[in-house]
A and B are shown apart, each in its own frame.
Chain A
Amino acid sequence: MKNDSRQHHMQSFLARESLLDKRVMADTETPVVRMLPTVHVVKIGGRSILEAGSATVNPLIKALGDALQENKLILGVGCGARSRHVFSVGLDLGLPTGVLAELSAADALGNAHILGTLLASHGVVAIPPAMFGHLLPMFIHSVPGVIFNGVPPYSLWEHPPAIGRIPAHRTDSGCLILAECFGCRSVVLVKDVQGLYTADPFLEDAAEFIPRISTDELRELDLKTLPFDEIMLDILDTARLVHEFQIIDGRQPELLARALAGEHVGSIIYSNKRASAQAPSSL
């Protein structure tokens, strides 16, 4: 049964090509639609912010409320300490990475509902994950902001990580991938540190602040820990629409409005990998 005897053809430029052929793939590089170009994606840390108590959370809620008067926001949340706990129990039971990813979505969803309760007076609520992506543009058109659980829907399909068993696609990554798909204006990660340091500033006094760094430079530094998911560097390097993200300190809520206005108030991680590929096709 040879190729030419197939009965069910359909005309398209990919119809007779292998989607595993690199030359064919290069032909699919075209300008991308920006679905939500004015919308910001803001990730509110789980353990670092939402679970740190009302003294930390309430001032930030006030700042978010103010920001929602002027901006459209997609708010993602972290899964926090409960996911760390369920990871440790799951690992002890020998459960695979995909199951750990499936479990952690519930913790982030809990945090999304906490944030939704605190922002309910603004019409901003946690949207169930099953409908969130498909209805996002409609929600954003109707209300100043929406909340999702940050966790990308990888679940049982989570990739086996290079080291150990902890799922690599966590809530920081979920926010960045979403922002890239919808062509959002910026990605801001709200944490309990001023930004990126050469070491964990809570553990080492000598840690130096890094205000701005490229993905390549950051890989070169090979830091022991990062205040965001490591795979974000790879996600940024393959992005077509979002070329940087900023980490800001949520304990200084006034920084949020400035970050949304495009000011550099924390650490910016950027990629220049696709700058040339993007130039001719910028919208």
Chain B
Amino acid sequence: MKESLLSELGEALVTGSLTDRELLARTDIQPGLQILPDANVIKIGGQSFIDRGRAAVYPLIEEIKQNLPQHKMIIGTGAGTRARHAYSVGVELGMPTGVLSVLGTFVSMQNARMLHYLLADQGIPFIEPIQFAQLPLYLAERQAVIFFGMPPYTFWQRNPTIGRLPPNRTDTGTWLISETFGTRSMIYVKDENGLYTADPKKDKHATFIPKITAAELLALDLPDVVVEHSVLEMMQNAQHRRSIQIINGLVPGNLTRALNGEAVGTIITAD
């Protein structure tokens, strides 16, 4: 496919090896396009938030509606309790990671559908991966969309190092949308103020960490972390999404403040 229109890099790509690190290093010479720089990606936790039902969800939905005039929101959902149920049934029966990934996707999709009905009066659509081509239109017209947080890897979900559960779940799927579209922020809405040195639900001595880098957090090697490990690893390679904030969505006003750029939870950065 050699032709005069190809750049030198283009010719090297067509003829060379994509495992050649010198060639790969030349592939980010052009500035990366931020496709949706005004949009925010918000992930609403499954077990930590949606599974709490009306008491937690209704006030957050109200706060999302109040923010629609000011902020564009791409809202992803976690999976939660039913995914854990499906995973435990599936693990015991010998399901491979790819099948568990399919099961987790279904639960995250249920949660997306439920939030979608709660936001239906605002004309906000639920989109599946195949509909992401319409994402810019929906944001321009309605300011927000709902999607399921699981990355659509299905049978191609890679195995974890330890155990069998899909390593790239809804924290990762939402983060990747924020990275690919170059959005303004990535906010995780959970039921804790952010990151602690241990699980604050189980350990009274757990101390709060307001700001930390991904490398520092990985070095701490905590037995339990508030966000999926893959997010911390991928963030270090990111072109755009080099910080995330984890907030307590049970506290009214936190989402609004986070959307306005305030630090109200734990901020994890790549650098």
The reply to whether A14 and B52 form a contact with Cβ atoms under 8 Å apart is no
The reply to whether A3 and B201 form a contact with Cβ atoms under 8 Å apart is yes
Residues from chain A with Cβ under 8 Å of B33 in the complex: 93-96
One digit per residue, 1 when the CB lies within 8 angstroms of any chain A CB and 0 when it does not, for chain B 143-183 equals 00000000111111111111111000100010011011110
Determine if B239 is an interface residue (Cβ-Cβ < 8 Å): yes
The reply to whether B165 and A8 form a contact with Cβ atoms under 8 Å apart is no
The reply to whether B154 and A91 form a contact with Cβ atoms under 8 Å apart is no
One digit per residue, 1 when the CB lies within 8 angstroms of any chain B CB and 0 when it does not, for chain A 150-166 equals 00111111111111111
Determine if B1 is an interface residue (Cβ-Cβ < 8 Å): yes
The reply to whether B94 and A31 form a contact with Cβ atoms under 8 Å apart is yes
The reply to whether A82 and B96 form a contact with Cβ atoms under 8 Å apart is no
Known: A18-B224, A166-B24. A28 touches B163 (CB 8 A): yes
CA A267 to CA B226, docked complex, whole Å: 43
User: Which of the 9-residue segments A112-120, A221-229, A247-255 touches chain B?
Assistant: A221-229
CB contact between B237 and one of A9, A22, A160, A181 (< 8 Å): that residue:
A160
Interface residues of A in 1-56 (CB under 8 A from B): 1-3, 6-15, 17-33, 35
Closest residue on chain B to residue A230 by CB atoms: B19
CA A211 to CA B181, docked complex, whole Å: 43
What is the number of residues of chain A that contact chain B, defined by CB distance less than 8 Å?
A: 87
One digit per residue, 1 when the CB lies within 8 angstroms of any chain B CB and 0 when it does not, for chain A 83-95 equals 0110111011111
Known: A8-B81, A26-B163, A157-B173. A165 touches B179 (CB 8 A): no
One digit per residue, 1 when the CB lies within 8 angstroms of any chain B CB and 0 when it does not, for chain A 220-250 equals 0000111111100001001111000000000
The reply to whether A98 and B179 form a contact with Cβ atoms under 8 Å apart is yes
Known: A85-B14, A152-B156, A230-B19. A91 touches B9 (CB 8 A): yes
The reply to whether A153 and B20 form a contact with Cβ atoms under 8 Å apart is no
Closest residue on chain B to residue A11 by CB atoms: B85
User: Which of the 9-residue segments A63-71, A138-146, A170-178 touches chain B?
Assistant: A170-178
Instruction: Give B residues with C-beta under 8 Å from A.
Output: 1, 6-7, 9-10, 13-14, 17-28, 30-33, 35, 51-53, 55-56, 81-82, 84-85, 87-89, 91-99, 129-130, 132, 151-165, 169, 173, 176-177, 179-182, 191, 199, 201, 223-229, 234, 237-240, 250
CA A184 to CA B88, docked complex, whole Å: 24
Residues from chain A with Cβ under 8 Å of B234 in the complex: 159-160
The reply to whether B89 and A91 form a contact with Cβ atoms under 8 Å apart is no
- Tell me, rounded to whole Å, the shortest Cβ–Cβ distance linking B56 to chain A: 7
**A10-B81, A160-B234, A226-B17 provided; 16 other pairs, C-beta below 8 A?**
A8-B52, A12-B89, A29-B162, A81-B14, A92-B7, A96-B35, A99-B180, A133-B98, A154-B151, A156-B180, A157-B177, A181-B155, A224-B21, A238-B161, A240-B96, A240-B159
The reply to whether A87 and B13 form a contact with Cβ atoms under 8 Å apart is yes
A-B CB contact pairs (8 Å), 19 listed: A1-B250, A8-B51, A20-B226, A20-B229, A28-B163, A92-B9, A93-B30, A93-B33, A96-B32, A130-B130, A133-B98, A153-B154, A157-B176, A164-B27, A164-B28, A177-B98, A224-B20, A240-B96, A241-B96
- Tell me, rounded to whole Å, the shortest Cβ–Cβ distance linking A117 to chain B: 21
The reply to whether A174 and B156 form a contact with Cβ atoms under 8 Å apart is yes
Known: A19-B84, A29-B163. A1 touches B52 (CB 8 A): yes
Q: Which 6 A-B pairs have the closest CB atoms?
A: A88-B10, A98-B180, A181-B98, A164-B27, A25-B163, A28-B163
- For the residues of A in contact with B, the DSSP-based class is loop
Instruction: Give A residues with C-beta under 8 Å from B.
Output: 1-3, 6-15, 17-33, 35, 81-82, 84-85, 87-89, 91-99, 130, 133, 136, 152-166, 169-170, 174, 177-178, 180-183, 200, 224-230, 235, 238-241
CA A149 to CA B115, docked complex, whole Å: 34
Residues from chain B with Cβ under 8 Å of A200 in the complex: 17
- Tell me, rounded to whole Å, the shortest Cβ–Cβ distance linking A168 to chain B: 9
Closest residue on chain B to residue A4 by CB atoms: B201
CB contact between B91 and one of A22, A28, A35 (< 8 Å): that residue:
A28
CB contact between B53 and one of A7, A155, A162, A181 (< 8 Å): that residue:
A7
Known: A181-B98, A181-B99. A154 touches B92 (CB 8 A): no
- Tell me, rounded to whole Å, the shortest Cβ–Cβ distance linking B10 to chain A: 3
Closest residue on chain B to residue A228 by CB atoms: B19
Residues from chain A with Cβ under 8 Å of B176 in the complex: 98, 156-159
- Tell me, rounded to whole Å, the shortest Cβ–Cβ distance linking A44 to chain B: 17
